[in-house]
Amino acid sequence: MTFAQIQLDVPIEGPFDYLVGAHSVRRGSIVVVPFRNKKMVGVVEQVSFTSSVAAHRLKTIETVFDLEPLSQSYFYLSQFVANYYRVQKGEALFLGLPTAVRRVNFIDQFTEVVFKLNKVGVQEVGDNLSKRARGKNRLLDLFKEDRWITLPEALSAYSLARAELANWEKRGWIERRVERAVPKHDPNITNSDGQGGHTEVVLTKAQNLAVESVIAKLGVHQTWLIHGVTGSGKTEVYFEIMAETLSRKKQVLVLVPEINLTPQFEYRLRSRFPHQKVVTLNSSMTDRERFQNWQMARLGVAPIVLGTRLAVFAALPKLGLIVVDEEHDLSYKQIEGVRYSARDLAICVASQAKVPIILGSATPSLETYFNVVESRYERLVLSERPQGPLPRIELIPVDRSQNRGISPQILQSIRSCIANGEQALVFMNRRGYASALFCSSCNWVAMCHRCSAKLTIHKHTHRMHCHYCGYQGKLPNQCGACGNQDLIGLGQGTQRIEDSLKAEFPDVSILRIDSDTTKRKGAFMEMRGVIEKSEVDIIVGTQMLAKGHDFPNLSLVVILGSDQSLFSSDFRATERLYQQLLQVSGRPGRGATEGKVVLQTEFPQHPVYQSLIHETFDDFAQKLLTERKEALFPPYCFQALLRVAAKKESSVWSFLSLAQTKALKIKIAELDVYDAVPSPIFKMAGLYRGQLLIQATSRSVMRKFLNVWVSEVNAIKENGVRYAFDIDPIDV
């Protein structure tokens, strides 16, 4: 008798034993099994001839998917995720599987029924059809093509084809069979000879040095930081190293932080490597697209795999290089479910595969920079733009009394830019019209009833939105407390800036780009095309435009509203603001025109702004490292956060109190257990939230502590409480 140990996507420790029955399975096979009165997809972790459970108590595997088993490298990565991020192995195993594969009806999703008239049917249908039955005759003509016909094809010929085909089948005139709609291996897709189409690019001395340094160590694991100023040609360096990797018949994994950056990067990849198959992996794809691309990646059919953080789980059998573009970006950190860092996992994958990994950024994260200082990573610097100098940055003291919050000096800069036939980007990292609705009589503020957050005014739809839980409500005509009708919209968002600019420049084309205007699939790419064709004069945008985009006719960037980030309680706020400002400051001046950046602020002498103008990134990073060392914050310590949420506030504090008590009983030196505190947004989507911070001086100390504490927290019985461990949290 054969048994299978199977992992399921459940927060319960596995594996679970099942009888194999008449099926043929091995490690990595994907199967369907009964579990607690329902069917679930599982992954076979091991096949054996013994089980700790009596055979008569075990259930049997129901279905085995016709897919190649998951690879050993995928199991290794899943085990690492489970151990490091403190989740069940079953949960980790399912992270990288496409949605289609996680469904028990997988076979139905990727199969379709086809029909064909037999010889008797062709004769009988023809004899029994009236010439006036035009739809049925069109259906018959389709079948006379002597091929298998799909149901959608039949329906396109005759809208009642489903019933008619059932009638023909009942009479024995028609044959039917089930075909696989998505092949395991597309026969039309093959690996080329590895020589990508090459567009001649003259590299600078610094670019050549970077390329030669990495190529010299292909086939060996090394983490490289390509630290290049915005517009310095980091992408060309990636491509040259990729070309050499592909020539050795190896695969390349390229990670980008956001879905909106994928189409542009994909276009550049296809242009640079026209003879190589490029596939993308991200959450915006249809189930079928993602499944097929996942298949081509893991079978080694696709030499280049491009994707967002999910793509790090694509186990490439011929992996030769990993590139993580904009490595500092917060989007690489998953903030729900299994809270992994795709950048850190990419380094783990590269280490296991013994291949180099390139981390690219103009503003590296302080953790990455620290690893360079500690000689764990090698840094390659690109300090100049091949096309010209970096834009000059100018600070403009704010003048609230004029022009709806936009300085006259800034308006004049925009006017001059447009007069020269150039484009201006007005950057405001807050969508909506106003950030709060305020009563001037009683100081009432419109709050979300599900979150401890103010509602944002969206004037164009006459509604108020919560940007945390998604709640929407009508814009009130009077105060919710005293009935006063003199309500004021406080703060600015992209909608308000857009309206102000339209009033100031009525004859100018203005385009707003934020998450409200790009909800429709393909909308962002259409807007990019409009900008690239210079069909718009002023672009108003959020952080969606802060990085990775190259607009040749953009010569001016205006930064508004950055002061709101200066006094955050998050110790990483200064680093993030500097990164964002430096990134968006790198957008102008990438063509023939010199770029200029103007930043409106109430605090022009603030150290962040002064560093932006007068210091290099190294100067700024060294100052931050000194501050972090004195405060004993990362990267000089390691953090873990227990996040708890519940409908009852008392349940949150009860759970956290028990967790803290258990933590304090674990006597480990060089480890601090802080008091439980409310989360920055205490109530969200109807749930109260709290957190408990653990801080250790080394990773080994943290690991030793978590090995004991996690199991004790898992044993706490508190109804209605959700909790998660966040290892290396990015917001504390």
**Total number of domains constituting the chain:** 6
Q: What is the pLDDT of residues 541-599, one digit of tens each?
A: 888 887 767 788 889 999 998 988 888 888 999 999 999 999 998 888 776 678 899 99
In a domain, 587, yes or no: yes
Provide the pLDDT confidence category of residue 611 given band limits of 50, 70 and 90.
very high
Q: What is the pLDDT of residues 198-219, one digit of tens each?
A: 556 789 999 999 999 999 999 9
Query: What distance, in Å, lies between the first and last C-alpha atoms of the chain?
Result: 52
- Give CA–CA dist 223/152, Å, rounded: 51
- Is the pLDDT at 153 greater than 60? The verdict is yes
What CATH number is given to the structural domain containing 321?
A: 3.40.50.300
Is residue 89 domain-shared with residue 139, that is, in the same domain? no
Classify residue 595 by its DSSP letter.
P
Q: What residues have CB less than 8 Å from 669, skipping those under 6 apart?
A: 701
The angle, 0 to 180 degrees and rounded to 10, between the axes of the packed helices 617-631 and 366-373 is: 90
- Give CA–CA dist 663/715, Å, rounded: 13
Q: What is the pTM of this model?
A: 0.86
Q: Which residue segment(s) compose the domain that 472 sits in?
A: 435-487
Q: What is the largest CA-CA distance in the chain?
A: 93
- Is the pLDDT at 188 greater than 70? The verdict is no
Measured CA to CA in angstroms, residue 343 lies from 103, 154, 334, 357 at distances of 28, 48, 11, 10
Tokens of 21: 């029955």
In a domain, 523, yes or no: yes
Is residue 458 domain-shared with residue 375, that is, in the same domain? no
Average pLDDT over residues 215-232: 93
Predicted local confidence at residue 399, as pLDDT? 57
Is residue 211 domain-shared with residue 163, that is, in the same domain? no
Q: What residues have CB less than 8 Å from 166, skipping those under 6 apart?
A: none
- Is the pLDDT at 308 greater than 90? The verdict is yes
Helix (H, G, I), strand (E, B) or coil at 260: helix
Predicted local confidence at residue 60, as pLDDT? 95
Burial class for 402, CB neighbours closer than 10 Å (0-12, 13-18, 19+): exposed
Among 14-28, 173-187, 472-486, 490-504, top mean pLDDT goes to 14-28
- Is the pLDDT at 175 greater than 80? The verdict is yes
Average pLDDT over residues 370-386: 93
Provide the pLDDT confidence category of residue 632 given band limits of 50, 70 and 90.
very high
Predicted local confidence at residue 519, as pLDDT? 80
- Give CA–CA dist 62/19, Å, rounded: 10
Q: Dihedrals φ, ψ of 246, to 5°? A: -65, -35
Q: What's the mean per-residue pLDDT of the chain?
A: 89
Predicted local confidence at residue 370, as pLDDT? 97
Provide the pLDDT confidence category of residue 115 given band limits of 50, 70 and 90.
confident
- Give CA–CA dist 555/81, Å, rounded: 44
Q: What is the pLDDT of residues 367-377, one digit of tens each?
A: 999 999 999 99
Q: What residues have CB less than 8 Å from 8, skipping those under 6 apart?
A: 14, 16, 33, 35, 40, 41, 42, 90
- Is the pLDDT at 343 greater than 60? The verdict is yes
Is residue 422 domain-shared with residue 546, that is, in the same domain? yes
Classify residue 341 by its DSSP letter.
B
Is residue 217 domain-shared with residue 344, that is, in the same domain? yes
* Residue 579 CB neighbour total at 10 angstroms: 25
Q: What is the pLDDT of residues 61-97, one digit of tens each?
A: 999 998 899 999 999 999 999 999 999 999 999 999 9
Q: What residues have CB less than 8 Å from 271, skipping those under 6 apart?
A: 199
Size of the chain in residues: 732
Tokens of 732: 């504390």
Is residue 121 domain-shared with residue 87, that is, in the same domain? no
Residue type (1 letter), 654: S
- Is the pLDDT at 7 greater than 80? The verdict is yes
Share of the chain above pLDDT 90, in %: 61
Selection from 697, 693, 572 nearest residue 638 by Cα: 697
Report the range of poorest mean pLDDT among 21-30, 121-130, 159-168, 708-717. 121-130
- Is the pLDDT at 102 greater than 80? The verdict is yes
Q: Which residue has the tokens 């401890």?
A: 452
Is residue 223 domain-shared with residue 355, that is, in the same domain? yes
Q: What residues have CB less than 8 Å from 712, skipping those under 6 apart?
A: 662
Tokens of 84: 């490091």
Is residue 546 domain-shared with residue 579, that is, in the same domain? yes
Predicted local confidence at residue 180, as pLDDT? 62
- Is the pLDDT at 323 greater than 50? The verdict is yes
Is residue 315 domain-shared with residue 357, that is, in the same domain? yes
Share of the chain above pLDDT 70, in %: 95
Predicted local confidence at residue 192, as pLDDT? 42
In a domain, 462, yes or no: yes
Helix (H, G, I), strand (E, B) or coil at 191: coil
Is residue 584 a contact partner of residue 391, using CB atoms and an 8 Å limit?
no
Is residue 452 domain-shared with residue 472, that is, in the same domain? yes
* Residue 517 CB neighbour total at 10 angstroms: 20
Predicted local confidence at residue 285, as pLDDT? 85
Provide the pLDDT confidence category of residue 197 given band limits of 50, 70 and 90.
very low
Q: Which residue has the tokens 């028609």?
A: 174
In a domain, 106, yes or no: no
- Is the pLDDT at 196 greater than 60? The verdict is no
Predicted local confidence at residue 402, as pLDDT? 46
In a domain, 261, yes or no: yes
- Is the pLDDT at 636 greater than 50? The verdict is yes
Q: What residues have CB less than 8 Å from 704, skipping those under 6 apart?
A: 668
Is residue 577 domain-shared with residue 714, that is, in the same domain? no
Alpha helix ranges (H) inside 533-616: 573-585, 607-614
Report the range of poorest mean pLDDT among 108-117, 143-152, 377-386. 108-117
In a domain, 582, yes or no: yes
DSSP symbols for 447-481: B-SSSSSBPEEEGGGTEEE-TTT--EEEPPSS-TT
- Give CA–CA dist 669/650, Å, rounded: 31
Predicted local confidence at residue 349, as pLDDT? 97
